[in-house]
Amino acid sequence: MSSPDTATLLEDAADRIADISRADLQIMLRRAALRLALCAPLALAASCNVGGSQYTLYRNSVLDANMRVHVASFDSSAGDAYNSENCQIAAGLFAAQPGVQVRYWCEKGRFRK
């Protein structure tokens, strides 16, 4: 017997969102985010954009609110709106994790210190 894949679990949860526990939903979202984080570099390398529609996700530090820590880069060839939206989605997912005390934000352009 094989276990259902993440996409199937998330689709099932979406169909019965009112019935699923918060803890189960958090586990599914974390697993999906982890799989996305592990696969994203491969997908992004295959579709890098050299145009100018890159977005970079940053966070600050618990110890230094002015610190800029690079989290991820979004530079798909799908364009500006796509990269911006995915950066904002990722920022929201990171910020929504329990216990997060740092701020996440997106900036247009490649990573810079």
84 vs 106: CA distance, rounded Å? 8
Angle made by CA atoms 7, 13, 16, in degrees to the nearest 5? 145
Instruction: Tell me what pLDDT residue 2 has.
Output: 57
Question: What are the counts of helices (DSSP H) followed by strands (DSSP E) for the chain?
Answer: 3, 3
Residue 53 has pLDDT above 80, yes or no: yes
Q: What is the pLDDT of residues 11-49, one digit of tens each?
A: 777 788 788 788 887 887 888 787 777 776 665 555 554
| pTM (global) more than 0.75 | no
**Cα–Cα distance, 111 to 72 (Å, whole number):** 9
Residue with token string 């969102």: 17
Per-domain residue ranges of the chain: 1-46, 48-113
- Average pLDDT of 86-90? 96
3-class SS of residue 107: strand
